[in-house]
Amino acid sequence: MTDAKAAVEAVNGGVRVYLRVTPRASRNAVLGPMDGPEGRQLLKVAVTTVPEDGKANEAVLKLLSKAWRVPKSSLTIVAGQTDRNKVVQVAGDAGELLAVILAPWEG
């Protein structure tokens, strides 16, 4: 069973979000939680850009910034620069960020 809460963890100064990115998708979207490798829960993200020269990474950060209403400068890819599985750190108040990030799947 997938659980969006398990894809996000509070850390010092913000949260870390575990992602599975699909480049060359038909639309840009945060699609929801999914089961990842080794039992890790991930948020599935789709971007239309190609995965070359960091273009897909930039598109992911832009999409997340818009979806979560945070400045793009507060987002950092801390793992997975060249992998589809990525870890993004979001700087800010962990409680507020958790509420915003998980809102689409609460309920």
pTM: 0.93
Report DSSP letters for 69-88, one per residue.
Answer: T--GGGEEEEE-TTSSEEEE
**Structural domains in the chain, sorted by start:** 4-105 (3.30.1200.10)
The DSSP call for residue 50 is -
What's the pLDDT tens digit per position in 16-27?
A: 999 999 999 999
What's the pLDDT tens digit per position in 26-66?
A: 999 999 999 988 888 999 999 999 999 999 999 999 999 99
Residue-level pLDDT at 1 = 45
